[in-house]
A and B are shown apart, each in its own frame.
Chain A
Amino acid sequence: MQEESKYATMWVSEGILYFTFKAIAELDLKKAEILVASRLKFQDKTPYPVLCNIYNLKTVSEEAADYLATEGIALIPAIALLCNSYYHRVLAEVFIKFHNLAKPIQIFSNKQEALDYLQKFIQKKS
Protein backbone atom coordinates (compact mmCIF):
# COMPACT_ATOMS: atom_id res chain seq x y z
CA MET A 1 0.00 0.00 0.00
CA GLN A 2 1.70 3.22 -1.14
CA GLU A 3 0.72 6.84 -1.67
CA GLU A 4 2.65 9.44 -3.62
CA SER A 5 1.38 12.92 -2.72
CA LYS A 6 2.65 16.34 -3.70
CA TYR A 7 4.90 16.76 -0.66
CA ALA A 8 5.50 13.27 0.68
CA THR A 9 5.70 9.58 -0.03
CA MET A 10 3.89 7.17 2.31
CA TRP A 11 3.62 3.43 2.57
CA VAL A 12 2.65 0.90 5.18
CA SER A 13 4.72 -2.15 5.94
CA GLU A 14 4.24 -4.57 8.84
CA GLY A 15 2.00 -2.20 10.77
CA ILE A 16 4.26 0.86 10.46
CA LEU A 17 3.59 3.91 8.31
CA TYR A 18 6.71 5.12 6.51
CA PHE A 19 6.53 8.82 5.77
CA THR A 20 9.22 10.61 3.73
CA PHE A 21 9.04 14.30 2.94
CA LYS A 22 9.85 15.36 -0.60
CA ALA A 23 12.26 18.26 -1.15
CA ILE A 24 10.47 21.25 0.38
CA ALA A 25 12.32 24.55 0.78
CA GLU A 26 9.97 25.80 3.44
CA LEU A 27 7.24 23.71 5.01
CA ASP A 28 4.54 26.31 5.66
CA LEU A 29 1.09 25.94 7.17
CA LYS A 30 -0.69 25.35 3.87
CA LYS A 31 1.66 22.53 2.87
CA ALA A 32 1.39 21.05 6.38
CA GLU A 33 -2.42 20.98 6.11
CA ILE A 34 -2.23 19.26 2.73
CA LEU A 35 0.25 16.71 4.10
CA VAL A 36 -1.89 15.87 7.11
CA ALA A 37 -5.09 15.62 5.06
CA SER A 38 -3.44 13.25 2.57
CA ARG A 39 -2.02 11.15 5.41
CA LEU A 40 -5.40 10.83 7.13
CA LYS A 41 -7.03 9.84 3.86
CA PHE A 42 -4.30 7.24 3.25
CA GLN A 43 -4.65 5.78 6.75
CA ASP A 44 -8.41 5.36 6.37
CA LYS A 45 -9.22 5.54 10.11
CA THR A 46 -6.47 3.07 11.05
CA PRO A 47 -3.87 4.35 13.52
CA TYR A 48 -0.22 3.55 12.65
CA PRO A 49 3.03 4.42 14.40
CA VAL A 50 5.05 6.55 12.02
CA LEU A 51 8.66 6.40 10.87
CA CYS A 52 9.24 9.89 9.50
CA ASN A 53 12.30 10.67 7.40
CA ILE A 54 13.01 14.40 7.37
CA TYR A 55 16.22 14.52 5.33
CA ASN A 56 14.53 16.54 2.55
CA LEU A 57 13.28 19.27 4.87
CA LYS A 58 15.03 22.61 4.98
CA THR A 59 12.94 24.88 7.19
CA VAL A 60 9.58 24.62 8.93
CA SER A 61 7.53 27.71 9.70
CA GLU A 62 6.36 28.27 13.26
CA GLU A 63 2.71 27.93 12.22
CA ALA A 64 3.36 24.68 10.39
CA ALA A 65 5.24 23.27 13.39
CA ASP A 66 2.37 24.22 15.74
CA TYR A 67 -0.12 22.60 13.38
CA LEU A 68 1.89 19.38 12.97
CA ALA A 69 2.34 19.09 16.73
CA THR A 70 -1.42 19.34 17.37
CA GLU A 71 -3.74 18.36 14.52
CA GLY A 72 -0.89 16.68 12.71
CA ILE A 73 -0.61 13.79 15.16
CA ALA A 74 -4.18 12.53 14.81
CA LEU A 75 -4.25 8.75 14.31
CA ILE A 76 -0.58 8.43 15.25
CA PRO A 77 0.21 6.54 18.47
CA ALA A 78 3.97 7.28 18.24
CA ILE A 79 6.57 8.87 15.98
CA ALA A 80 10.19 8.03 15.21
CA LEU A 81 12.03 10.84 13.43
CA LEU A 82 14.88 9.66 11.24
CA CYS A 83 17.68 12.24 10.96
CA ASN A 84 20.82 11.60 8.94
CA SER A 85 22.60 14.90 9.55
CA TYR A 86 23.40 17.17 12.47
CA TYR A 87 21.26 19.92 10.94
CA HIS A 88 18.18 17.68 10.85
CA ARG A 89 18.84 16.38 14.31
CA VAL A 90 18.80 19.94 15.69
CA LEU A 91 15.69 20.73 13.59
CA ALA A 92 13.94 17.73 15.15
CA GLU A 93 15.10 18.56 18.69
CA VAL A 94 13.86 22.14 18.35
CA PHE A 95 10.50 20.86 17.10
CA ILE A 96 10.11 18.50 20.07
CA LYS A 97 11.35 21.01 22.64
CA PHE A 98 9.17 23.94 21.61
CA HIS A 99 6.02 22.12 20.58
CA ASN A 100 4.68 19.94 23.32
CA LEU A 101 3.52 16.85 21.51
CA ALA A 102 0.90 14.73 23.19
CA LYS A 103 2.32 11.51 21.71
CA PRO A 104 5.60 9.66 22.25
CA ILE A 105 8.30 10.89 19.86
CA GLN A 106 11.99 10.10 19.56
CA ILE A 107 14.87 10.93 17.24
CA PHE A 108 17.01 8.26 15.58
CA SER A 109 19.90 8.20 13.15
CA ASN A 110 19.62 4.45 12.68
CA LYS A 111 16.58 3.08 10.83
CA GLN A 112 16.55 -0.31 12.56
CA GLU A 113 16.60 1.27 16.02
CA ALA A 114 13.69 3.49 14.98
CA LEU A 115 11.72 0.47 13.79
CA ASP A 116 12.47 -1.45 17.00
CA TYR A 117 11.16 1.53 19.00
CA LEU A 118 7.90 1.64 17.04
CA GLN A 119 7.17 -2.08 17.44
CA LYS A 120 5.44 -1.67 20.78
CA PHE A 121 3.00 0.86 19.32
CA ILE A 122 1.75 -1.37 16.52
CA GLN A 123 -1.95 -2.10 16.97
CA LYS A 124 -2.72 -5.79 17.13
CA LYS A 125 -5.59 -6.76 14.88
CA SER A 126 -8.43 -8.33 16.87
Chain B
Amino acid sequence: MLTPNQIYDHRFMQLVKALLKMASGNFLYRIPISDARDWKDTLGMLINKTNIRLNTMFNEIKKTRVYTHPQIILLINSKKELLTHTDENHQIISKELIPKTLNDLLSVKGRKIFSKHWYKWDKKTLSCYDMGILDFRGETELLVPLHIQVRQSRALLEDSWYYIFGFDPQQPVPPLRTKEQDTLKTFPGKKAKNNSKTIGDFLLAQRVHDALLKHQTSSIPSLEVIASEAGASISAMQKAFKDRYGKAVLKYDMEKRLEASTFLLKESDIEIKEVSKNYGFKTDSHYISRFREKYGITPLQFRKKAFFNKHN
Protein backbone atom coordinates (compact mmCIF):
# COMPACT_ATOMS: atom_id res chain seq x y z
CA MET B 1 0.00 0.00 0.00
CA LEU B 2 1.53 3.32 -1.07
CA THR B 3 1.71 6.14 1.48
CA PRO B 4 0.36 9.57 0.54
CA ASN B 5 3.94 10.83 0.20
CA GLN B 6 4.69 8.05 -2.25
CA ILE B 7 1.58 8.74 -4.33
CA TYR B 8 1.52 12.53 -4.31
CA ASP B 9 5.09 13.07 -5.40
CA HIS B 10 6.31 15.52 -7.99
CA ARG B 11 5.62 13.18 -10.88
CA PHE B 12 2.09 12.50 -9.73
CA MET B 13 1.48 16.26 -9.50
CA GLN B 14 2.76 16.60 -13.08
CA LEU B 15 0.08 14.13 -14.18
CA VAL B 16 -2.61 16.01 -12.29
CA LYS B 17 -1.50 19.33 -13.78
CA ALA B 18 -1.46 17.96 -17.31
CA LEU B 19 -4.97 16.54 -16.91
CA LEU B 20 -6.26 19.85 -15.54
CA LYS B 21 -4.75 21.65 -18.51
CA MET B 22 -6.43 19.20 -20.85
CA ALA B 23 -9.75 19.70 -19.09
CA SER B 24 -9.43 23.43 -19.80
CA GLY B 25 -8.81 22.74 -23.48
CA ASN B 26 -5.03 23.16 -23.44
CA PHE B 27 -3.40 20.23 -25.22
CA LEU B 28 0.09 21.67 -25.53
CA TYR B 29 1.60 20.13 -22.40
CA ARG B 30 3.84 17.02 -22.46
CA ILE B 31 4.84 14.95 -19.46
CA PRO B 32 8.52 13.90 -19.32
CA ILE B 33 9.02 10.12 -19.12
CA SER B 34 11.53 8.84 -16.60
CA ASP B 35 13.85 5.88 -16.89
CA ALA B 36 11.73 3.98 -14.37
CA ARG B 37 8.96 3.40 -16.96
CA ASP B 38 6.56 2.64 -14.12
CA TRP B 39 2.80 3.25 -13.86
CA LYS B 40 3.23 7.03 -13.78
CA ASP B 41 5.30 6.89 -16.97
CA THR B 42 2.68 4.68 -18.59
CA LEU B 43 -0.04 7.15 -17.70
CA GLY B 44 2.18 10.03 -18.82
CA MET B 45 2.80 8.36 -22.17
CA LEU B 46 -0.94 7.88 -22.72
CA ILE B 47 -1.70 11.48 -21.75
CA ASN B 48 0.99 12.74 -24.16
CA LYS B 49 -0.43 10.66 -26.98
CA THR B 50 -3.97 11.84 -26.27
CA ASN B 51 -2.82 15.47 -26.18
CA ILE B 52 -1.11 15.15 -29.56
CA ARG B 53 -4.22 13.62 -31.11
CA LEU B 54 -6.64 16.11 -29.59
CA ASN B 55 -4.44 19.04 -30.54
CA THR B 56 -4.25 17.84 -34.15
CA MET B 57 -7.99 17.30 -34.28
CA PHE B 58 -8.93 20.67 -32.86
CA ASN B 59 -6.40 22.49 -35.01
CA GLU B 60 -7.98 20.88 -38.06
CA ILE B 61 -11.45 21.85 -36.92
CA LYS B 62 -10.32 25.38 -36.17
CA LYS B 63 -9.05 25.75 -39.74
CA THR B 64 -12.55 25.41 -41.10
CA ARG B 65 -14.02 28.26 -39.08
CA VAL B 66 -12.23 30.93 -37.14
CA TYR B 67 -13.89 31.98 -33.92
CA THR B 68 -12.63 33.80 -30.93
CA HIS B 69 -11.94 31.76 -27.79
CA PRO B 70 -14.16 32.46 -24.81
CA GLN B 71 -12.59 34.84 -22.31
CA ILE B 72 -14.11 32.80 -19.52
CA ILE B 73 -16.07 29.59 -19.03
CA LEU B 74 -18.22 29.09 -15.93
CA LEU B 75 -20.01 25.99 -14.77
CA ILE B 76 -23.16 26.51 -12.71
CA ASN B 77 -25.93 24.27 -11.43
CA SER B 78 -29.67 24.88 -11.68
CA LYS B 79 -29.51 27.15 -8.60
CA LYS B 80 -26.87 29.24 -10.41
CA GLU B 81 -24.27 28.25 -7.84
CA LEU B 82 -20.78 28.50 -9.30
CA LEU B 83 -19.14 25.06 -9.49
CA THR B 84 -15.93 25.99 -11.30
CA HIS B 85 -14.45 28.48 -13.76
CA THR B 86 -11.45 28.89 -16.08
CA ASP B 87 -10.32 32.31 -14.91
CA GLU B 88 -7.32 31.07 -12.92
CA ASN B 89 -5.43 34.31 -13.55
CA HIS B 90 -8.30 36.42 -12.18
CA GLN B 91 -8.59 38.45 -15.34
CA ILE B 92 -12.32 38.78 -14.90
CA ILE B 93 -13.16 37.32 -11.51
CA SER B 94 -11.95 39.53 -8.67
CA LYS B 95 -9.38 38.04 -6.29
CA GLU B 96 -10.93 39.79 -3.31
CA LEU B 97 -14.45 38.51 -3.84
CA ILE B 98 -14.91 34.74 -3.76
CA PRO B 99 -18.01 34.22 -5.88
CA LYS B 100 -20.50 31.60 -4.75
CA THR B 101 -23.22 32.21 -7.28
CA LEU B 102 -23.40 33.69 -10.73
CA ASN B 103 -25.14 36.75 -9.31
CA ASP B 104 -21.94 37.58 -7.38
CA LEU B 105 -20.19 38.03 -10.71
CA LEU B 106 -22.81 40.08 -12.58
CA SER B 107 -23.59 43.76 -12.30
CA VAL B 108 -27.08 44.74 -11.13
CA LYS B 109 -28.20 45.32 -14.71
CA GLY B 110 -26.50 42.11 -15.79
CA ARG B 111 -28.43 40.10 -13.22
CA LYS B 112 -31.75 41.45 -14.46
CA ILE B 113 -30.97 40.67 -18.11
CA PHE B 114 -29.68 37.19 -17.21
CA SER B 115 -32.80 36.38 -15.18
CA LYS B 116 -35.07 37.60 -17.94
CA HIS B 117 -33.41 35.36 -20.52
CA TRP B 118 -33.02 32.45 -18.11
CA TYR B 119 -36.78 32.18 -17.57
CA LYS B 120 -37.50 32.79 -21.24
CA TRP B 121 -35.21 29.96 -22.35
CA ASP B 122 -37.11 26.72 -23.08
CA LYS B 123 -34.52 24.30 -21.76
CA LYS B 124 -36.39 21.20 -22.87
CA THR B 125 -36.18 22.00 -26.57
CA LEU B 126 -33.07 24.18 -26.79
CA SER B 127 -29.73 22.97 -25.44
CA CYS B 128 -28.12 26.41 -25.76
CA TYR B 129 -29.12 30.04 -25.57
CA ASP B 130 -27.55 33.37 -26.49
CA MET B 131 -28.00 35.93 -23.70
CA GLY B 132 -26.41 38.83 -25.52
CA ILE B 133 -23.95 41.16 -23.79
CA LEU B 134 -23.87 41.20 -20.00
CA ASP B 135 -21.63 43.14 -17.63
CA PHE B 136 -19.44 41.19 -15.24
CA ARG B 137 -17.96 42.77 -12.11
CA GLY B 138 -14.20 42.71 -12.39
CA GLU B 139 -11.52 43.88 -10.01
CA THR B 140 -11.91 47.32 -8.34
CA GLU B 141 -15.51 47.19 -9.50
CA LEU B 142 -14.68 47.74 -13.14
CA LEU B 143 -17.19 46.24 -15.52
CA VAL B 144 -16.24 43.59 -18.05
CA PRO B 145 -18.81 43.27 -20.86
CA LEU B 146 -19.00 39.78 -22.30
CA HIS B 147 -21.16 38.19 -24.95
CA ILE B 148 -22.76 35.32 -23.07
CA GLN B 149 -23.86 31.97 -24.46
CA VAL B 150 -25.21 29.31 -22.14
CA ARG B 151 -25.12 25.63 -22.93
CA GLN B 152 -26.83 22.84 -21.03
CA SER B 153 -24.54 20.01 -19.99
CA ARG B 154 -25.37 16.67 -21.64
CA ALA B 155 -24.01 14.70 -18.68
CA LEU B 156 -26.63 12.49 -17.02
CA LEU B 157 -26.80 14.25 -13.66
CA GLU B 158 -29.62 14.53 -11.16
CA ASP B 159 -29.32 18.31 -11.20
CA SER B 160 -28.83 20.19 -14.48
CA TRP B 161 -25.51 21.87 -15.03
CA TYR B 162 -24.84 24.75 -17.41
CA TYR B 163 -21.73 26.03 -19.15
CA ILE B 164 -21.58 29.78 -19.49
CA PHE B 165 -19.24 31.00 -22.23
CA GLY B 166 -18.17 34.63 -22.08
CA PHE B 167 -16.80 35.97 -25.39
CA ASP B 168 -15.24 39.29 -26.30
CA PRO B 169 -18.22 41.34 -27.61
CA GLN B 170 -16.02 42.78 -30.40
CA GLN B 171 -15.24 39.35 -31.88
CA PRO B 172 -17.42 36.87 -33.85
CA VAL B 173 -18.92 34.13 -31.73
CA PRO B 174 -19.88 30.62 -32.84
CA PRO B 175 -23.46 30.39 -34.07
CA LEU B 176 -25.86 28.47 -31.87
CA ARG B 177 -27.73 25.55 -33.35
CA THR B 178 -31.47 26.08 -33.04
CA LYS B 179 -32.30 22.39 -32.77
CA GLU B 180 -30.71 19.57 -30.82
CA GLN B 181 -28.04 17.91 -32.90
CA ASP B 182 -25.76 15.03 -32.18
CA THR B 183 -22.60 15.93 -34.06
CA LEU B 184 -21.40 12.34 -34.18
CA LYS B 185 -24.35 11.15 -36.26
CA THR B 186 -24.92 11.78 -39.94
CA PHE B 187 -28.36 12.92 -40.98
CA PRO B 188 -30.47 10.89 -43.38
CA GLY B 189 -32.52 12.70 -45.97
CA LYS B 190 -31.84 16.36 -46.72
CA LYS B 191 -28.39 17.86 -46.32
CA ALA B 192 -27.86 20.62 -43.76
CA LYS B 193 -28.46 24.00 -45.41
CA ASN B 194 -25.32 25.63 -44.15
CA ASN B 195 -23.18 22.60 -45.12
CA SER B 196 -21.08 23.12 -42.01
CA LYS B 197 -18.41 20.61 -41.07
CA THR B 198 -18.97 18.55 -37.94
CA ILE B 199 -16.76 16.45 -35.73
CA GLY B 200 -18.48 13.44 -37.30
CA ASP B 201 -17.22 14.46 -40.77
CA PHE B 202 -13.75 15.00 -39.38
CA LEU B 203 -13.67 11.53 -37.81
CA LEU B 204 -15.14 9.94 -40.95
CA ALA B 205 -12.40 11.47 -43.11
CA GLN B 206 -9.86 10.16 -40.61
CA ARG B 207 -11.33 6.63 -40.80
CA VAL B 208 -11.19 6.72 -44.61
CA HIS B 209 -7.59 7.89 -44.45
CA ASP B 210 -6.71 5.06 -42.04
CA ALA B 211 -8.45 2.51 -44.28
CA LEU B 212 -6.42 3.72 -47.30
CA LEU B 213 -3.22 3.45 -45.33
CA LYS B 214 -4.11 -0.04 -44.20
CA HIS B 215 -4.56 -1.18 -47.81
CA GLN B 216 -1.53 0.65 -49.14
CA THR B 217 0.53 -2.49 -49.57
CA SER B 218 -2.32 -4.63 -50.81
CA SER B 219 -4.42 -4.34 -53.96
CA ILE B 220 -6.08 -1.00 -54.66
CA PRO B 221 -9.44 -1.14 -52.85
CA SER B 222 -12.76 -0.10 -54.37
CA LEU B 223 -14.83 2.74 -53.00
CA GLU B 224 -17.32 0.19 -51.66
CA VAL B 225 -14.65 -1.52 -49.58
CA ILE B 226 -13.32 1.75 -48.20
CA ALA B 227 -16.80 3.05 -47.41
CA SER B 228 -17.68 -0.20 -45.68
CA GLU B 229 -14.56 -0.02 -43.51
CA ALA B 230 -15.19 3.61 -42.70
CA GLY B 231 -18.80 2.86 -41.81
CA ALA B 232 -20.47 5.35 -44.16
CA SER B 233 -22.08 5.68 -47.56
CA ILE B 234 -19.81 6.25 -50.56
CA SER B 235 -21.11 9.76 -51.14
CA ALA B 236 -20.77 10.83 -47.48
CA MET B 237 -17.30 9.39 -47.34
CA GLN B 238 -16.22 11.11 -50.57
CA LYS B 239 -17.52 14.48 -49.43
CA ALA B 240 -16.03 14.33 -45.94
CA PHE B 241 -12.68 13.17 -47.35
CA LYS B 242 -12.48 15.81 -50.05
CA ASP B 243 -13.44 18.54 -47.57
CA ARG B 244 -10.62 17.57 -45.28
CA TYR B 245 -7.88 16.39 -47.61
CA GLY B 246 -8.68 18.44 -50.70
CA LYS B 247 -8.65 15.47 -53.09
CA ALA B 248 -10.92 12.64 -54.19
CA VAL B 249 -10.39 9.38 -52.31
CA LEU B 250 -8.96 7.25 -55.10
CA LYS B 251 -6.81 10.05 -56.46
CA TYR B 252 -5.33 10.62 -52.98
CA ASP B 253 -4.79 6.87 -52.55
CA MET B 254 -2.93 6.59 -55.86
CA GLU B 255 -0.71 9.56 -55.02
CA LYS B 256 0.16 8.14 -51.63
CA ARG B 257 0.98 4.72 -53.06
CA LEU B 258 3.30 6.27 -55.62
CA GLU B 259 4.95 8.46 -52.97
CA ALA B 260 5.42 5.49 -50.66
CA SER B 261 6.93 3.43 -53.48
CA THR B 262 9.74 5.99 -53.93
CA PHE B 263 11.10 4.81 -50.59
CA LEU B 264 11.81 1.31 -51.94
CA LEU B 265 13.13 2.77 -55.18
CA LYS B 266 15.62 4.93 -53.29
CA GLU B 267 16.60 2.62 -50.45
CA SER B 268 16.65 -0.84 -52.01
CA ASP B 269 17.55 -2.83 -55.13
CA ILE B 270 14.19 -4.55 -55.31
CA GLU B 271 13.04 -4.97 -58.90
CA ILE B 272 10.45 -2.53 -60.24
CA LYS B 273 8.07 -5.44 -60.74
CA GLU B 274 8.29 -6.32 -57.03
CA VAL B 275 7.96 -2.69 -55.95
CA SER B 276 4.79 -2.31 -57.99
CA LYS B 277 3.40 -5.54 -56.54
CA ASN B 278 4.29 -4.43 -53.02
CA TYR B 279 2.14 -1.32 -53.46
CA GLY B 280 -0.88 -3.07 -54.86
CA PHE B 281 -0.47 -2.58 -58.61
CA LYS B 282 -1.69 -5.54 -60.64
CA THR B 283 0.86 -4.99 -63.40
CA ASP B 284 4.15 -3.15 -63.46
CA SER B 285 3.10 -1.35 -66.63
CA HIS B 286 0.18 0.20 -64.73
CA TYR B 287 2.56 1.27 -61.98
CA ILE B 288 5.11 2.68 -64.44
CA SER B 289 2.53 4.70 -66.37
CA ARG B 290 1.00 6.17 -63.18
CA PHE B 291 4.46 6.93 -61.83
CA ARG B 292 5.47 8.71 -65.01
CA GLU B 293 2.21 10.69 -64.95
CA LYS B 294 3.05 11.98 -61.45
CA TYR B 295 6.81 12.40 -61.56
CA GLY B 296 7.50 12.86 -65.28
CA ILE B 297 10.04 10.00 -65.27
CA THR B 298 9.84 6.21 -64.97
CA PRO B 299 10.56 4.43 -61.67
CA LEU B 300 13.86 3.18 -63.06
CA GLN B 301 14.93 6.68 -64.05
CA PHE B 302 13.86 7.88 -60.59
CA ARG B 303 16.00 5.21 -58.96
CA LYS B 304 19.03 6.06 -61.06
CA LYS B 305 18.59 9.75 -60.30
CA ALA B 306 18.31 9.05 -56.56
CA PHE B 307 21.45 6.91 -56.67
CA PHE B 308 23.31 9.61 -58.56
CA ASN B 309 22.24 12.32 -56.11
CA LYS B 310 23.23 10.18 -53.14
CA HIS B 311 26.74 9.59 -54.39
CA ASN B 312 27.54 13.07 -55.67
- The complex places the Cα of A85 from the Cα of B33 at a distance, in Å, of 15
- The complex places the Cα of A85 from the Cα of B45 at a distance, in Å, of 14
* With A74-B263, A74-B264, A94-B46 as contacts: A62 and B37 at CB distance below 8 Å: no
Mask, A82-126, CB within 8 Å of B = 1, is 000111101100100010111100000000000000000000000
Of B52, B267, B270, the contact of A62 (CB 8 Å cutoff): B52
* With A59-B33, A94-B49 as contacts: A86 and B42 at CB distance below 8 Å: yes
Q: Which residues of B contact A62 (CB under 8 A)?
A: 52
**Chain B nearest Cβ from A29, distance in angstroms:** 13
Q: State the interface size on chain A (CB cutoff 8 A).
A: 25
Those 7 A-B pairs whose CB atoms lie nearest each other, nearest first: A87-B37, A100-B214, A100-B210, A102-B217, A71-B263, A87-B42, A90-B42
- 12 A-B interface contacts by CB (under 8 A): A45-B269, A70-B216, A73-B217, A74-B268, A75-B270, A87-B38, A87-B41, A90-B46, A94-B46, A98-B53, A100-B213, A102-B217
Which single residue of chain B is at the shortest CB-CB distance from A88? B37
Q: Which residues of B contact A100 (CB under 8 A)?
A: 210-211, 213-214
Q: Is the CB of B45 within 8 A of A87?
A: yes
Max chain B Cβ within 10 angstroms of own Cβ: one of A45, A88, A94, A100 = A100
Q: Is the CB of B268 within 8 A of A45?
A: yes
**Chain A nearest Cβ from B40, distance in angstroms:** 10
**Chain A nearest Cβ from B221, distance in angstroms:** 11
**Chain B nearest Cβ from A121, distance in angstroms:** 14
Q: Is A52 an interface residue (CB 8 A)?
A: no
Main secondary structure of the interface of A (DSSP, over half): helix
Q: Is B35 an interface residue (CB 8 A)?
A: yes
Q: State the interface size on chain B (CB cutoff 8 A).
A: 30
Q: Is the CB of B278 within 8 A of A74?
A: yes
* With A37-B267, A74-B263 as contacts: A102 and B215 at CB distance below 8 Å: yes
- The complex places the Cα of A36 from the Cα of B215 at a distance, in Å, of 20
Q: Is the CB of A91 within 8 A of B45?
A: yes
List A residues at the B interface (Cβ < 8 Å): 36-37, 40, 45, 58-59, 62, 69-71, 73-75, 85-88, 90-91, 94, 98, 100-103
Q: Is the CB of B267 within 8 A of A40?
A: yes
Which single residue of chain A is at the shortest CB-CB distance from B37? A87
- The complex places the Cα of A69 from the Cα of B209 at a distance, in Å, of 14
Which single residue of chain A is at the shortest CB-CB distance from B270? A45
Q: Is B187 an interface residue (CB 8 A)?
A: no
**Chain A nearest Cβ from B16, distance in angstroms:** 19
Of A70, A88, A91, A98, the contact of B260 (CB 8 Å cutoff): A70
Q: Which residues of A contact B217 (CB under 8 A)?
A: 73, 102-103
Q: Which residues of A contact B260 (CB under 8 A)?
A: 70-71
Which single residue of chain B is at the shortest CB-CB distance from A95? B49
Which single residue of chain B is at the shortest CB-CB distance from A94? B49
Q: Which residues of B contact A73 (CB under 8 A)?
A: 217
Q: Is B39 an interface residue (CB 8 A)?
A: yes
Which single residue of chain A is at the shortest CB-CB distance from B211? A100
Q: Is B283 an interface residue (CB 8 A)?
A: no
Q: Which residues of A contact B285 (CB under 8 A)?
A: none
Q: Is B218 an interface residue (CB 8 A)?
A: yes
Mask, B33-61, CB within 8 Å of A = 1, is 10101110110011011001100000000
Known interface pairs A74-B263, A100-B214; 14 further A-B residue pairs with C-beta atoms within 8 A, sorted by A's residue number: A58-B35, A59-B45, A70-B216, A71-B263, A74-B268, A75-B270, A86-B42, A87-B37, A88-B37, A90-B42, A94-B46, A94-B49, A100-B211, A103-B217
264-293 of chain B: CB within 8 A of chain A: 264, 267-270, 274, 278
* With A59-B33, A87-B37, A87-B42 as contacts: A40 and B268 at CB distance below 8 Å: yes
- The complex places the Cα of A72 from the Cα of B38 at a distance, in Å, of 28
Q: Is the CB of B216 within 8 A of A102?
A: yes
* With A100-B214, A102-B218 as contacts: A90 and B52 at CB distance below 8 Å: no
- The complex places the Cα of A31 from the Cα of B52 at a distance, in Å, of 20
Q: Is the CB of A98 within 8 A of B49?
A: yes
Which single residue of chain A is at the shortest CB-CB distance from B36? A87
